[in-house]
A and B are shown apart, each in its own frame.
Chain A
Amino acid sequence: MNVTALKRKLDLTPKPAAPVVALPPRNSDRLAPWRKRGASLASTVLPPLAVLVVLLTIWQVGASGEGSGLPTPVQVWIDSGFLIMEPFYVYGSQDIGLGWRVLTSLERVAYGFGLAAVVGVLTGAVIGQSALMMRGFDPIFQILRTVPPLAWLPISLAAFMDSGPSAIFVIFITAIWPVIINTAAGVRAIPQDYRNVAAVLRLNQVEFFCKIMVPAAAPYIFSGLRIGVGLSWLAIVAAEMLTGGVGIGFFIWDAWNSSRLSDIIVALAYIGGTGFILDRLVGWIGRVVSRGTAG
């Protein structure tokens, strides 16, 4: 023991010169987290990219034949590459880039979905408070939520007589059901303990709603909002068949009427991308807001 200890001590003495040797690995260490991040980024981005290339190739080969009704990806690029490269051009009040069109549609969805979110959370909160109301309303909501957006169009038009509010109503009525159903379920799931705390503190209805109910039910509410935002974006094409104008939904309808298939395909990609971003955005907000509740 003593001898090894002594050896160790002896080994230590020449080390002061060592730092020079120790520097290079430290440098590479500093890069390691970046390399790790790069690797994880590559592992999430590369697989979908590869699948996309494969699918585009299949599409290209499949649609290349004589008399094919569908344009190939290359054809789409030739016909409508301009729409992809220039999302924000303005050539006139009706001739604008797809980026602008998406924004116009998003504004419409913001009204419809915003209204659905507010009304849905409040309605769900009230219904979730009572088992009797839940039993009465739930089957009806479950039926109404399966009605497709297009089916609401005629009723909406008959009720509002005007295309603008009708379109927003279609988005609203499509998106509201999952918000109500999930909020009600979340309110029902609030632990009795939190209700007892509120009772002992004599919180009034408004305080209970803001301080206990919304934070406690936040994970449920946000999963409802996430489904709702997806549905309201699904309803945009149906809604804009009514309104006309410059939205992305109407663009598709218009392109179909003038047989510009390539434009439709590009617009589909825009709609899909925007829907994906909306979904992730609401999911992210939900995660941030309900961080405490889950823990």
Chain B
Amino acid sequence: MKYLQIDHVSKTFVKGSKQAHVLSDITLTIDKGEFVSIIGHSGCGKSTLLNLIAGLTDVTSGGIVLDGREVNAPGPDRAVVFQNHSLLPWLTVYDNIKLAVSKVFGATKSRAERHDWIMQNLDLVQMSHAADKRPGEISGGMRQRVGIARALAMEPKVLLLDEPFGALDALTRAHLQDAVMDIHARLGNTMIMITHDVDEAVLLADRIVMMTNGPAATIGEVLTVPLVRPRDRIRLASQPDYVRAREGVLRFLYERHRLVEAAE
């Protein structure tokens, strides 16, 4: 069954008399529980595509349907983990998640149930020890964990991750990738992750959507990653399927769709 359907979507930004045709004719269907990575060079509009799915930006033409309902506004059923965590710095870790939980489950869960749900999500990302800290008092990796917990706490139909680990160091990134894989295995969420890291895409995704370069970027190729789960980053490195998938993405990015900086 098609869970999320992106149908001939185009996006043109208009600012005064200037027009920027960012995305052109994007068609993609994603099944429930699937993990899809979207990869492409910077400026190809992959974040725009995520914003369209999130409803933060309106489509110019085409349509997006999630679970039988058209996407035309942002909502907690499409929770976003933002690139720079976007936690509110004046709230504690607990209160940041509480803001989301109170809004989404204010009517359906009792106060005690909401508290348990907040703590459960903090446990999921191993951050319950820092519940009373403010975002300024914890490390970048921890903040991103809290950002994931906040998104998960909304119990979204689709979890959208916008280059969530881009600003983190390699070790922390590996930890968080494992955490995301673990969460995906346990909860079976549908996840869409924007990334520019080939290894990350291959390690995490069931399918990798490769975008051509802008302007008017579109989907160049979709690669299915045939690796069984749970995946182990160390053992994967020597598996032929992994190497082949990695090579496929690299070829796409650096041979057929090399970023030409002089295009301006």
Contacts and interface: CB of A to CB of B under 8 A. Distances in A.
Contact of A295 (B55, B84, B134): B134
Contacts of A290: 90
Contact of B74 (A194, A199, A293): A199
Nearest to B51: A196
Interface stretch (B97-105, B191-199, B223-231): B97-105
A146 B264 CA distance: 47
A292 B104 CA distance: 24
Given A202-B75, A295-B134, A196 B56 contact: yes
Given A292-B134, A295-B134, A200 B88 contact: no
Interface residues of B, number: 25
22 contacts: A193-B84, A194-B88, A196-B56, A196-B74, A196-B82, A196-B86, A200-B54, A200-B74, A200-B75, A200-B80, A203-B103, A207-B103, A211-B88, A212-B88, A216-B88, A216-B90, A291-B90, A292-B90, A292-B134, A293-B90, A295-B89, A295-B134
A290 B78 CA distance: 31
Contacts of A215: 88, 90
A202 B91 contact: no
A70 to B, nearest CB: 51
A227 to B, nearest CB: 23
A215 B88 CA distance: 9
Contacts of B86: 191, 193-194, 196-197
B40 interface: no
Contacts, number: 61
Nearest to A291: B90
A194 B154 CA distance: 17
A111 to B, nearest CB: 30
Interface in B71-99: 73-76, 78-80, 82, 84, 86, 88-91, 99
Contacts of B79: 200
B82 A193 contact: yes
Given A215-B88, A215-B90, A196 B80 contact: yes
A194 to B, nearest CB: 7
Given A196-B82, A200-B79, 6 more contacts: A194-B88, A199-B56, A202-B75, A203-B103, A216-B90, A292-B89
Given A193-B84, A196-B82, A215-B88, A201 B136 contact: no
Contacts of B82: 193, 196-197
Which of A197, A200, A212, A290 neighbours the largest number of chain B CB atoms within 10 Å of its CB? Answer: A200
A211 B100 CA distance: 11
Nearest to B137: A295
A212 B134 CA distance: 16
Contacts of B74: 196, 199-200, 202
A35 to B, nearest CB: 32
Nearest to A292: B90
Given A196-B82, A211-B99, A201 B104 contact: yes
Contacts of A193: 82, 84, 86
Contacts of A196: 54, 56, 74, 80, 82, 86
Interface string B108-138: 0000000000000000000000000010110
Contacts of A292: 89-91, 134, 136
Contacts of A201: 76, 99-100, 103-104, 154
A290 B89 CA distance: 10
A56 to B, nearest CB: 46
A189 to B, nearest CB: 14
B81 to A, nearest CB: 10
A295 B154 CA distance: 26
Nearest to A191: B86
Interface in A201-219: 201-203, 207, 211-212, 215-216, 218
Contacts of A211: 88, 99
A211 B98 CA distance: 12
Interface in A158-195: 191, 193-194
Contacts of B89: 292-293, 295
A292 B100 CA distance: 19
B142 to A, nearest CB: 15
